[in-house]
A and B are shown apart, each in its own frame.
Chain A
């Protein structure tokens, strides 16, 4: 069971290990295209579950994705996030927060003609890794950044 193997890797990997897997694997797999909101993805309680629900195996780290977030967020209830994707045919941008009660914060479907750019504000419960997941030309890529949170905003 490939899926179980991967889950095991994710579970034993921990936070840093997970990033290590992401960085070294370089494996890209595109799942089902979806424009409908996937409730299961928003209910996912871990990064592994969220990626499964989004139909992503392991997204490739990409320098073409710029994830802008504050280094220190004083108020976790309002953390400004900007994702800029310079990948051609960017069709979807998702924002995930690894340790939030529900990992997936928001997902944006960008039709042809809409630029690979989104700014929004999200809640973060604690100091954590924010991940921008970008689907471009049918493949998934990611960029991540740690945000230190002074006061959590998931109450």
Chain B
């Protein structure tokens, strides 16, 4: 099971800013390990962020997104106490869903 994300959603003047730090190796498939063998590609392919039930961001990643992907974006609306959920899925079929309460 993948490690949890860190999510911070802050509401200010009618706009919610969401900061997400995912924990993932994001292997490109080009790196060699100490024995000289290629490490297979292993990376997050998609991220979906929802505010309550509404999708507010759909991210699609290639291997060039850095290890432990970091995202910041903003959407209109959002009241402290409401939930923002983030779900990612990787190319090996693993996924992770975390949520955070919007704060002021």
Binding site for B on A (CB under 8 A): 35, 37-38, 42, 77-79, 82, 97, 100-102, 104-111, 113-115, 117-124, 153-155
Main secondary structure of the interface of B (DSSP, over half): strand
Known: A113-B76, A115-B76, A155-B30. A104 touches B71 (CB 8 A): no
Cβ 8 A contact of A154, one of B30, B58, B76, B77: B30
Closest to A108 in B: B59
Binding site for A on B (CB under 8 A): 15, 28, 30-32, 45-46, 54-67, 69-77
* Sampled A-B contacts (30; CB under 8 Å): A35-B58, A42-B60, A42-B61, A77-B66, A106-B59, A106-B60, A106-B64, A106-B65, A108-B58, A108-B60, A109-B57, A111-B55, A111-B56, A111-B57, A113-B54, A113-B56, A113-B77, A114-B76, A115-B15, A115-B74, A117-B72, A117-B74, A119-B73, A120-B70, A121-B66, A122-B64, A123-B28, A123-B63, A153-B66, A155-B31
